[in-house]
Structure 1
Amino acid sequence: MDQRTRAAGHGENTRLLGRASECALLDQMIAAVRTGESRVLVLHGPPGIGKSALLAHAERAAAGVQVLRAGGVESEMELAFAALHQLCAPLLGRLGNLPEPQREALETVFGMRAGPAPERFLVALAVLGLLSEASEESPLLCVVDDAQWMDRASAQILGFVARRLLAESVALLFGSRRRPQDLIGLPELEIAGLGDADARALLDSVTHARLDRHISERLVAETQGNPLALLELPRGLSVTQMAGGLGLLRGDALPGRIEQSFLARIEALPEQTRLLLLVAAAEPTGHPDLVWRAAERLGIVPATALAAGTDGLLSFDARVIFHHPLVRSAVYGAARQRDRRAVHLALAEVTDAQADPDRRAWHLASATTVPDEAVAAELERSADRAQARGGLAAAAAFLQRSLALSVDTARRAERALSAADASLRAGDLDAARKLADIADGNARSEFQRVRAHLVRSHITFAAGFNNEAPPMLLEAAQRLEPFDMDLARETYLIAWGGASYGAANRESLVAISRAIGNLPPREGSPSVLDLVLESYALLISEGRTTALPTLRKAVSALTDAPLQDLLKWSWAANGLVALIWEDRIMTRTPARVLEVVRAAGALADLPVYLHALGIPTSLSGEFGAAAAIVAESEAVAAATGVPMTQHTKLLLTALQGREAEASALIAATIEEAGAGGQLAGVASAQWATAILYNGLADYERALSAAQATTLSANALVSQWALSELVEAAARAGNDAAAHGALEDLAVTAEPCDTDWAQGILSRCRALLSDDAAAAGLYREAIERLSRTVLRPELARAHLLYGEWLRRDRQRTEARTHLRTAYEMFTSIGMEAFAERARRELLATGEAVRKRRNEAATNEGLTPQERQIALLVRDGLSNPEVAARLFLSPRTVEWHLRQVFTKLGIGSRKQLPDALPRSESDSTTG
């Protein structure tokens, strides 16, 4: 009997006792899915609380809806994508309808084809597409029970999919004892015990004697209304025991008491039946053939084992199913170790080594208690296969077990290193650190010890940009030089990038640059990496002028560098182009890498390259495209749960001049980045502050922020802040600060004979020049900057020149430049600077009305709607937009309908007119 009672007047229809509100919510989910919406819900609560019964109710309510089922199994937590394959198996015939990269990704992780490990987010997009495609034919209900035991790869994929569902006619329903890490943040419902009245009614339904009221109340209170406890605990007790409450009120924990109830039933079964239950408990797939073949090897005779039945604990059908997961754990936990080993060995022997080698290896490992090199090697091969499918957590688990069974001491260190690396890439930093220590302790060579140190360095770096990582990486690079010079060079660059972007520690940058300078020259032509390293080292040790020729060579080489190299370390080279003031090629390398990262579905890497593209896009005044980049970053953060970098959003809101929004974001960034030692983040926030308050004409605050920024060791941010410092100091009357900043700016810009460098330098010199020289310098700045893509800088040159002309009483010419500045600021969307220009125009005597910002004419659109609209305007199809934004095509179509309504248009053909493209406003990369 389960937690159901007949509903009066409804024949065979049943209702769950005391679960009216929960059932109503599930019914609403199913109804919404039938109307084309998506729903997600995580039911969580302790064992026996009724989660499985509620999932079963949802399935019964889903008439006309295709139901897909999967269940987490504790012993399968190490097998990558096991739960996902179970859920998607009925849909695999539809794989041919997916875009080729997505189809190949799923085929690879499900072992249907060989190939390089796909990015897990490409796999997630493929699953989203598969569910969306299937829901075109019929709404889907995907039910995952015991989600706490899902393998990590499946949990990550399903968590991603759940966050991206919107208009796919798909419901994802999870049942879990606790909230799995990868499902946190999804809609959830905690399932509590039954109310007292319902609990008593359920208890009365399974007791044959009338219980004393006090005993009944105490039992209901102690079980906290847990339905399974109320159903199971009275089993096997006599009428006398029931009536007096004897045997019911043991003091151990409730799940243990429920298991004890199951164990009492198990112990009453014949020995062969108990052994059959153990085989079923150890075989996670529920495949009857495997269970019976393993049973046969153990001498179990089916007729004998099932002669007296299984007391309802186990049933054989298309699958072998336990009455409740606690039965499985009770059977397995109570078994003798020698029986468990015998069962796992039998299962390993009947598991196909070709079709299912990983499960076979895991059974062999579970059957082994002493080191066994053959089994360790099998587990190592399983780890290789898991990594090839992208199952990093599974690979780490296989390698850890392989390490425990290793006989060959030489292999122990290598396996520990491999396990540490896999654990690091899977995000398990604590396990990676312990395994690196084991590798160090077992190392047979200095190279192994160095690699263990390198893993520790990467662990520290992965924990967040901080002061500890760069020196550790520097030491690792130095120790690697005798063994692997290419790896040493890559490590030097990561160390340099960490010192610059993270703690921005000048001492670390100097030490790293000195070590790079001492590297022996490579035989033959230098590689791209060599040029990047040399240019960074020279920049710190010798200064901009000396470094400039090498910087230019490195920038030129980056343009055609192999993508596999760029994917590994180009994040640390992103600033090279700006360091030589080359505005027209700033977006080239990040856009190139971004295309590959997007196509691969590498969401973990995507924010880095979005930031690298977002900064120059913002500086160019393409605020629509920059906002789309911010929206994409936020979509990635929402999908992955990983906080996004705020640099582009900081710069964009500061340039827009939205004080309330920008100042709140600046304060939050300074607090968060400062607490984490990420001084580059603090510097970016201070640079944004200087821009914001120069636009608002609050020059004292702009001056303070700019001075703080230029103290940063981050060469790029401090370089960009110098012009803000010159303007703020000049307007605030701090001549000493203004001239000092101009001298520093000349050191960085003067050697670079580009229109950007010379235009900014001329504009800043004009601010501090006498009347005879200022006009010529302003005109030179305007001429130079007009040849760049940096429209905001050109508009600011017109503004400063117009302000100077007005103060020099040349009102007519002043109006010309101020009007140009005002129109440019307005069209770009720089509200604060536009208002500053408008006030100056009014001071010349020209009447000017506030114009609506052209960039804001579509502000009725949400950031995601605008991003989708721009991509479609630029010619992408719905599937291409879906792949770009990690959505389903149906969700893209749903958003487009909202866009058409808000813009008052009827088709995608009208988008170019509704969203006119500026000179370089494009989101297609």
Structure 2
Amino acid sequence: MVSIDTPPSALLGRAGERERLADLVGSARNGRGAALLIRGEPGIGKTALLDEAVREVAGVRVVRADGFEAEQAMPYAALQRLGAPFTELVGVLPPRQAAALRIAAGVDDGPPPDRYLVGLGMLSLLAAAAERHPLVYVIDDAHLVDPESLEVLAFVGRRLEAESVALLLGARPDARVDVAAAGVAVLELGGLDGPTSVQLLNRSAVEPVDPFLATRFAEETGGNPLALIDLAREFTAQQLTDSSLALGPVPIGLRLESTYLRAVDALPADTRRWLGVAAAESTGRPAIIDEAAHRLGVATDAAGAAERAGLASVRERVRFRHPLVRAAVYNAMPVGERREVHAVLREVADEQGRPDLAVWHAAAATSGVDDAVADRMERAADAAGGRGGTASRARLLAGAADLTTPGPARDARLIAAAEAAAAAGAAQLALELLDRIDAGAADPVTEGRLLMLRAMLALFVADPDGVRGGPATLLHAAELFHGRAPDLEQRALVRAFEVELTAEWAVTDATLPELGRRLAAGVDVADGPRSVALRGIAAHILLPYDQAVPPMRAAVEMLRRADDAQLLDLGYFGVALTMGLWDERTCIELLERTASVAREAGNLRVLDTTLWLLGEVELVRGDAAAAGRHIDGVRELRRAIGYDAEQVVNASYLAWAGAPTEVVEQLAVGILASGFVGAHTIAMSGLCTRDLADGRYAAAYERLLPMVARDFLQVTYQQLPDLVEAGVRSGHGGDPPVRSAAARLAEFAEVSGTPWIRGVSARAAALLASDDDAEPLYREAIEHYVEAGAAAELGRAHLVYGEWLRRLKRRRDARDQLRLALESFERAGAPAFAARARRELEATGEHVVAHAPGEAAVDTLTPQEATVARLASSGRTNAEIGAELFISANTVDYHLRKVFRKLGITSRRQLAERYPLR
């Protein structure tokens, strides 16, 4: 909102704040973009500060927009207004980004775009527009901006770096804004200091105010500029003196609102009626307000008195002096009159081709149940969902449910609203909507959807009991779907398996064999990809390994043939199957493809999970360097989404990277308490591997024994090789668990036959073999690992072979193997194993150089610079790198220039040749 009757020169104080905004605008003019959220209470001066920041600024183009209450259920409404001046540039954007913007704007039809793809498109659009003129975007009343636009604006704000764009937002304290704009710099705007408050009060008053009283008013208003101005203008000096002697507070807050209402009451009846219409039509469109006022019998000149009183302004939009003025007018209208105004506004909006506004007014005009209006709101919700507006869809469906006759239709709208809220990341809202449904009275399909959503939300909010009980909940949902909704039944069964992997051995009320039998029963419910998936998963759980492998492979092959949409929809069960098959190549291939599809679609939440899983898989095969890159990718994505990237902690990676054991153990305890037992197992497996690297073989053996005894699908498979090495090195090579582990590995190698498992099995056999039989097995392991391409696993084969050779006094041969081991570990980023290899080499009498030439220069790169350099060295263009990292091509170029400077090179060719970053 603008301050209507305060002259431009009236802004007092705020020197530091004004300087900060001037620096931000100046930086944008010089090619360094940034965003700032100005947050403060009503009347604190946010709008005045924004006005000051862009007043008479040379060399930039200013684009402004306000948030409006009526647009809060219109997805991307604010974004459309902000992007309107640059529509001709949409055609130069990458096709997927351009399509996302057009669908979001309702211009084109198509699959609903993810809001982060819309965000990347908006970022690219602004970067392109800023090539012509530096841009300053001003969004006032951001707390009233529709959720989708707010998410996109925050995303853009977090990614601005090397663009000539400044983004300035003003908002009241609001939890929704805080969540959406997390990661955007915030300027908390408090009250004016004492002397400035007194100066403002006296400058605004007709007569001088006693200095003592002025100081008291400054204190009691908290230095709120609007409160001070209105006190001075509403009351005479004598009245202010009388107020100071009264027992009650000075008239601010609710009493300030009543002050505005008194000013309204003094106006002519037609002007009060016109103000009521304007207050109800929050978008401030004069054409709609004037026509509605005319139909309500309001004189055409009624707005003039409101302007003369300084309560409202009529220009391109109707603006109230302050939100409290609008609130006072709107709340003072009798309920019946308010509904009458909304009903007329609905008619006018419909006639003027604004059905989105009309449905909002129709709901506000309704008292009690109105199924016809509810139907209309549901259609609006479907339209919002078709544009990717999941938050707006949730809001509209929840409103439709409020107007729906209690029964199945109302419950269906509530569950659909909860599903939309969950898709938008509003887990708490989704849970609140679910709580409004009487599960006992709901039909079976609605109850099943409710249970299914509750189980998935438990993962989102990290509810330990919900996570551990998730499989049982999903199996119950599947039973409710049986015979009624076969697709939902199979979907619930696949999700039950995925939650089982999350909660692992801590699952309650659903054993793994019970789950397997229920999955097998769901195979024939319907044909299609999920049927193939369920057959493979059930076989993995229930059948002997040699019988399970064919259906497991069939399910993996189905995933490889799946189209992009199917791949995103089917989930992550393929990780368990491919790792159970010891087929890490296909596992990584599927995850990398999923990441690519998610990145193209702008689905950052799926991308986040996929990169995390890629990191875990790389750790399983020992490539900590690759895992670290994926974890950095997760960290960067969470910055883009607005989460605290510093909270991205992978306990297993920390173990591999050399963190203190007690730190990893503490993290593992916290993970276990959250119910994410699978992540706890991975962390403990990392500690076991770390114990082996450090030579603490007995400790590794003691950790591994109970883990292997639990025997949980492919998770246990990965622990068997470490158990063999720990057992042999700690004097337990003849114990049954060690012999059994080696036998199982041999079976896996014979049945599955991938290079990875053959190498694992041969290495285990070599460790258990006599000196006469071991050497061919060590060599065989190395050959298989070379074919598999797993650097750290190859390094471990060279290491144990070299250690065996040194024990036999074959020092020269040992050195050859240990050098190869050290090289593999340094390439894989496994410092603990590298230290073990160095110790062994030094024991042969060789002096070891710790780092390769040029490595120190590479180490000076920041994580984002290293990622940009790695992608550039692989031949990616700036646009491709920008799309992968969700930054603009300008920012990519900025980072690349810094990389060149730090590494002392001048071209991408030199980057690829001299610094082939892994």
TM-score by length of 1: 0.92
Structure 1 spans left out of the alignment, 5+ residues? 7-11
**Displacement after TM superposition at 1:208 (Å):** 3.1
Rounded Cα–Cα distance in structure 2 between residues aligned with 1:535 and 1:645: 38
SS of the residue corresponding to residue 166 of structure 1 reads coil
Where 2:137 maps in the other structure, the secondary structure is strand
The answer for the alignment partner of 2:658 in structure 1 is 659
Q: Secondary structure at the match of 1:339?
A: helix
Asked if residue 904 in structure 1 is aligned to residue 904 in structure 2, the reply is yes
- Name the CA distance, whole Å, in 1 between partners of 2:701 and 2:405: 66
Per the alignment, in what secondary structure is the counterpart of residue 178 of structure 1? coil
CA shift at 1:380, angstroms? 0.7
Asked if 1:69 corresponds to 2:64, the answer is yes
Partner of 1:85: 80
Q: What does 1:738-753 align with in structure 2 at a 5 Å threshold?
A: 738-739=738-739, 741-743=741-743, 745-746=745-746, 748-753=748-753
The superposition leaves residues 277-311 of structure 1 with CA deviations (integer Å, 9 ceiling, x where unpaired) of: 12112223222111111111111111255357540
**Which residue of the other structure, out of 112, 115, 131, is the alignment partner of 2:110?**
115
Q: 1:670 to 1:646 in 2, by over 3 A?
A: farther
Q: Which amino acid aligns with 2:356?
A: D
Question: RMSD in angstroms over aligned alpha carbons?
Answer: 2.9
Change (3 A) 1:513 1:19: same
- Contact 2:471–2:497 (8 Å) recurs in 1: yes
Query: Which shows bigger deviation, 806-815 or 758-767?
Result: 806-815
Note the C-alpha offset of 1:247.
9.2
Seen in structure 2, the aligned counterparts of structure 1 residues 378 and 724 have a Cα distance that, compared at 3 Å, is same
C-alpha separation in 2, matches of 1:370 and 1:818 = 79
The amino acid of 1:72's aligned partner reads G
Q: Rate the CA distance shift 1:313–1:708 in 2: closer, same or farther, 3 A.
A: farther
Deviation at residue 790 of structure 1 after TM alignment: 1.6
State which drifts further: 898-907 or 546-555.
546-555
Per-residue CA deviation, residues 638-672 of structure 1 (Å, 9 max, x unaligned), is 111347899995555555xx313x75873464144
Aligned residues: 907
Distance between the aligned counterparts of 1:642 and 1:481, measured in 2?
39
- In 2, distance between residues paired with 1:176 and 1:482? 51
For 1:818 and 1:4, how far apart are their aligned partners in 2?
Answer: 78
Q: Specify whether residues 354 and 750 from structure 1 end up closer, same or farther in structure 2 by C-alpha distance, changes over 3 A only.
A: farther
Q: CA separation in 2, counterparts of 1:664 and 1:897?
A: 41
Q: How does 1:250-289 map to 2 (within 5 A)?
A: 250-251=248-249, 254-289=252-287
Distance verdict in 2 for CA 1:184–1:708, change over 3 Å: farther
State how 1:349-388 maps to structure 2 within 5 Å.
Answer: 349-352=347-350, 355-388=353-386
Superposed counterparts of 1:170-185, under 5 Å: 170-178=165-173, 180=177, 181-185=179-183
Distance verdict in 2 for CA 1:224–1:569, change over 3 Å: same
Whether the aligned pair in 2 keeps the contact of 1:145 and 1:174 (CA below 8 Å) is: yes
Q: Which amino acid aligns with 2:456?
A: H
* Cα deviation digits, residues 858-900 of structure 1 (max 9, x gap): 2222221121122222222211211111001111110010111
The answer to whether the 8 Å contact 1:611/1:648 transfers is no
Match of 2:192, SS state, is coil
Q: 2:480 matched to which residue of 1?
A: 479
Structure 1 354/705 Cα, relative in aligned 2: closer, same or farther at 3 Å? Answer: farther
Report if aligned partners of 1:294, 1:350 keep a CA contact under 8 Å in 2.
yes
Residue equivalent to 2:891: 891
Distance 1:202 1:65 in 2: 31
The one-character-per-residue Cα deviations of 1:582-602 (angstroms, maximum 9, x if unpaired) are 243232222222221111000
- Counterpart of 1:403, as a letter, is A
**In the TM superposition, what is the alpha-carbon distance from 1:166 to its structure 2 partner?**
0.8
Deviation at 1:527, TM superposition (A): 3.9
Query: Which residue of 695, 703, 707 maps to 1:697?
Result: 695
3-state SS of 1:171 partner: strand
Question: In 2, are the aligned partners of 1:545 and 1:751 still within 8 Å (CA)?
Answer: yes
| Superposed counterparts of 1:3-22, under 5 Å | 14=9, 16-22=11-17
Give 2:71's aligned amino acid.
E
CA distance in 2, matches of 1:887, 1:725: 44
Cα distance in structure 2, aligned partners of 1:596 and 1:828: 27
Counterparts of 1:851-890 in structure 2 under 5 Å?
851-852=851-852, 858-890=858-890
- Correspondence for 2:845: 845
- Map Cα deviations across residues 678-726 of structure 1 (whole Å, 9 max, x no partner): 0111111111222223223233443344346435665333221221222
Instruction: Give, in whole Å, the separation in 1 of the partners of 2:682 and 2:454.
Output: 29
The 3 A distance-change label for structure 1 pair 838 and 431 is closer
Distance 1:492 1:308, change over 3 A: closer
Q: d(CA) in 1 for partners of 2:522 and 2:8? A: 79
Other-structure match for 1:913: 913
CA deviation profile, 1:343-399 (whole Å, cap 9, x unmatched): 211211111468422211111111111322221111010000110111111111111
Q: Give the aligned partner of residue 469 of structure 1.
A: 470
Q: 1:284 to 1:704 in 2, by over 3 A?
A: farther
1 CA distance for matches of 2:850 and 2:440?
Answer: 73
1:824 alignment counterpart:
824
Counterpart of 1:609 in structure 2 is 610
Match of 1:9 in 2: none
Aligned residue number for residue 336 of structure 2: 338
C-alpha separation between the residues in 2 aligned to 1:574 and 1:290? 56
User: Where does residue 538 of structure 2 map in the other structure?
Assistant: 537
Partner secondary structure for residue 823 of structure 1: helix
Structure 2: 5+ residue stretches without partners: none
Q: 1:146 aligns with which of 138, 141, 149?
A: 141
The alpha-carbon distance between structure 1 residues 271 and 175, as it changes in their structure 2 partners (threshold 3 A), is same
1:192 aligns with 2:190: yes
- Quote the residue 1:783 is aligned against: 783
Paired AA for residue 877 in structure 1: T
Question: In the aligned structure 2, how far is the partner of 1:4 from the partner of 1:522?
Answer: 66
CA–CA separation in structure 2 for the residues paired with 1:49 and 1:41: 17
- Code of the residue aligned with 2:343 in structure 1: it is L
Report the AA paired with residue 901 of structure 1. R
Deviation at 1:16, TM superposition (A): 2.4
Kept in 1, the 8 Å contact 2:759–2:782? The answer is yes
1:748, distance to aligned residue in structure 2 (A): 4.7
TM-score in terms of structure 2 length = 0.92
**For residues 456 and 61 of structure 1, do their structure 2 counterparts lie closer, same or farther at Cα, with a shift above 3 Å needed?**
same
Match of 1:453 in 2: 451
Equivalent residues of 1:598, 1:606 under 8 A apart: yes
**Mean alpha-carbon deviation: is it higher for 692-701 or for 501-510?**
501-510
Deviations along 1:8-34, one digit per CA (max 9) or x if unpaired, are xxxx98362121111121122122222
- For 1:583-602, what aligned pairs fall within 5 Å after superposition? 583-602=584-603
How big is the shift at 1:153? 1.2
1:802, distance to aligned residue in structure 2 (A)? 1.4
Secondary structure in 2 aligned to 1:490? helix
State the identity %.
36
Deviation at 1:842, TM superposition (A): 2.6
CA distance in 2, matches of 1:147, 1:127: 17
* Counterpart contact for 2:635–2:648, Cα < 8 Å: no
Q: 1:160 aligns with which of 120, 142, 155?
A: 155
Distance 1:252 1:243 in 2: 11
More displaced stretch, 461-470 vs 283-292: 461-470
* Aligned mates of 2:384, 2:3 — CA distance in 1: 40
The one-letter amino acid of 1:493's match is V
Is the Cα contact below 8 Å between 1:607 and 1:644 reproduced in 2? no
**Distance apart, 1:342 and its partner CA:** 1.7
Which segment drifts farther, 208-217 or 388-397?
Answer: 208-217
Q: 1:703 touches 1:729 (CA, 8 Å); kept in 2?
A: yes
Moved more, 666-675 or 41-50: 666-675
Secondary structure, in 3 states, of the residue corresponding to 2:55?
helix
For residues 197 and 648 of structure 1, the distance between their equivalents in structure 2, rounded to whole angstroms, comes to 48
SS at the partner of 1:881?
Answer: helix
Structure 1 residue corresponding to 2:725, chosen from 716, 719, 727: 727
Partner amino acid, structure 1, of 2:288: L
Report the CA distance between 1:210 and its aligned residue. Answer: 4.0
1:517-574 per-position Cα deviation (integer Å, ceiling 9, x unaligned): 3346367xx6442233223223323343331222222222222123322211231222
Paired residue for 2:322?
324
- Whichever residue aligns with residue 415 of structure 1, its letter is R
Query: Using the alignment, how far apart are the partners of 1:579 and 1:557 within structure 2?
Result: 16
For structure 1, which segment, 240-249 or 895-904, has the greater mean C-alpha deviation from structure 2 after superposition?
240-249
Report the residue type matching 1:659 in the other structure. Answer: G
Q: Distance in 2 between matches of 1:309 and 1:585?
A: 70
Q: Which residue type is aligned with residue 95 of structure 1?
A: V
